[in-house]
A = this chain, B = another copy of it.
Amino acid sequence: MSSAVIERDPIFETDFIKEMLRQMRALDSYGTWDGQPVENILAPYVLTKERKATIPIIGDPDEEVLARVKAFYNAIAVLIEKECGMMAVPMVHLTHEGFGRVLITVGKLVAMDRTLRDVHRFGFESLSKMKTEADKILSVALEIVGKYAEVAGI
């Protein structure tokens, strides 16, 4: 570990944030984020209430927002997979105008199931809040996978 890393917020050393970065880099076909600090790469996820309120929720959200939503749930699926050792498959499905549903399945088990609303405004007060949310989803998902391991193993 380099000294530059040690000085930083420990959140950047968590599995979740590391996986988020991997997800974001995978989206970055043109290498525009190469050499950028982590904070900048994840900045689009941080939206204060005031900033959220300025984003119109009319029409379908654009591709970039959708990619961010997918990256977030992909990262959670990767962490589920790491913990339980079984394949976790995310499926983000928008129906219309920023409404939708996101599932993560493990075998025949729905480990996570959420309704999405106002996807245009997808974001969190801070990276720390984002991680807290991801941890919550992860722990609920792992609990159900543990409880119904047979169904998850199909």
Query: Which residues from chain A sit less than 8 Å from chain B, CB to CB?
Result: 91, 93, 101, 103, 105, 107-110, 113, 144, 148, 150-151
Q: How far is the CA of A91 from the CA of B89 in the complex (A)?
A: 14
Q: Is the interface of A mostly helix, strand, loop or mixed?
A: strand
Q: How far is it, in angstroms, between the C-alpha of A144 and the C-alpha of B110 when the chains are bound?
A: 14
Contacts of A150 in B (CB 8 A): 148
Contact A91 B103 (CB under 8 A): yes
Tell me which residues across on chain B come within 8 A of A148, comparing CB atoms: 108, 148, 150-151
Residues on the B chain within 8 Å of A108, using CB: 109-110, 113, 144, 148
Contact A113:B109 (CB < 8 A) given known A91-B91, A93-B93, A148-B151:
no
Smallest CB separation, A153 vs chain B (Å): 12
Contact B105 A110 (CB under 8 A): yes
Instruction: State which of B101, B105, B113, B144 has its C-beta within 8 Å of the C-beta of A113.
Output: B105
Nearest B residue to A112, CB-CB: B108
Given the complex, which residues of B lie within 8 Å of A113, measured CB to CB?
105, 108
- Shortest A88–chain B CB gap in Å is 12
A107 to B113: give the CA distance in the assembly, Å: 10
A149 to nearest B CB, angstroms?
11
